[in-house]
């Protein structure tokens, strides 16, 4: 079916055009470039395998961000489980390794301040203040009420203002 073929090309082209933005969000969420690109890759693979559930004519960017965000949450949970097991066995080694890696990466004030935020607040801050979504759009991506998004955002940005000083 030719119509369908055209549609499928448009889907891939659309995702391709979104890649720079998706990378930005992925790197912001994972606080690390190579983790961010891994997250991007998982997101693309998931999107391609679930393309049937994308409704043409609706916003592809929000759809992709939602996939990325959910994958990232899953990954965080899996990581927490792993690190709990790991830490109980050889906490000293694990902590030393993480510290060493961090020292090798140049981290500036903004990165440091963002890293200190709880995940839900960082996510809200990134979606609204970096990706430029409205509160309603960001809440749809996260899957929470607008009021919840708003209060996470406010707590996150107050914490950032306190850390970074109020003059940018």
Partner 1 sequence: MSVTREELAAFADGELDPKQHAEIERAVEADPELAREVAAHRALRARLSAHYAPILDESVPESLAALLRREDNVVDLADQRKARSGIPRWGWIAGPALAACLILALFIPLGSAPEGYASQQIATALDDQLVATQPASAPVRVLLSFHDGSGAYCRAFAAAEQGGIACKDTQGWRVLERLDGDNIKNGEYRQAGTVSAQLMAHVQEMASGPALDAEQEAVAKGRLWKPSE
**Site residues, partner 1 (CB under 8 A):** 2-3, 5-10, 12-17, 19-21, 23-24, 27-28, 37, 40-41, 44-45, 48, 56-59, 108, 110-111, 114, 125, 128-130, 132, 134-135, 150-151, 153-154, 157-158, 160-161, 164, 166-168
How many Cα neighbours within 13 Å face the side chain of 140?
9
How many Cα neighbours within 13 Å face the side chain of 11?
19
Report which of 141, 94, 53, 7 is spatially closest to residue 130, judged by C-alpha positions. Answer: 141
**Cβ-based burial of 22 (10 A; exposed 0-12, middle 13-18, buried ≥19):** buried
- Specify the residue, 104 or 168, whose C-beta has the smaller distance to partner 1: 168
Smallest separation (angstroms) from partner 1 to the CB of 108: 8
Smallest separation (angstroms) from partner 1 to the CB of 66: 16
Q: What is the largest CA-CA distance in the chain?
A: 60
Alpha-carbon distance 82 to 34, whole Å? 20
Smallest separation (angstroms) from partner 1 to the CB of 111: 8
Smallest separation (angstroms) from partner 1 to the CB of 103: 21
- Specify the residue, 12 or 74, whose C-beta has the smaller distance to partner 1: 12
- Specify the residue, 38 or 75, whose C-beta has the smaller distance to partner 1: 38
- Specify the residue, 83 or 134, whose C-beta has the smaller distance to partner 1: 134
Q: How far is CA 66 from CA 96, 116, 157, in A?
A: 34, 23, 22
Alpha-carbon distance 47 to 149, whole Å? 25
- Specify the residue, 9 or 80, whose C-beta has the smaller distance to partner 1: 9
Smallest separation (angstroms) from partner 1 to the CB of 119: 17
């Amino acid at each position: 079916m030719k119509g369908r073929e055209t549609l499928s090309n448009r889907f891939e082209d659309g995702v391709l055009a979104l890649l720079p933005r998706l990378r930005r969000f992925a790197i912001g969420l994972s606080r690390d470039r190579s983790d961010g690109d891994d997250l991007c890759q998982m997101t693309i693979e998931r999107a391609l395998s679930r393309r049937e559930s994308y409704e043409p004519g609706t916003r592809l960017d929000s759809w992709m961000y939602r996939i990325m965000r959910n994958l990232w949450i899953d990954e965080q949970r899996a990581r927490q489980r792993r690190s709990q097991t790991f830490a109980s066995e050889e906490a000293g080694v694990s902590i030393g390794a993480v510290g060493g890696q961090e020292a090798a990466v140049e981290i500036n004030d903004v990165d440091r301040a963002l890293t200190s935020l709880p995940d839900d607040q960082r996510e809200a801050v990134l979606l609204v203040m970096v990706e430029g979504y409205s509160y309603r759009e960001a809440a749809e991506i996260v899957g929470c009420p607008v009021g919840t998004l708003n209060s996470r955002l406010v707590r996150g940005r107050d914490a950032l203002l306190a850390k970074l000083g109020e003059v940018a």
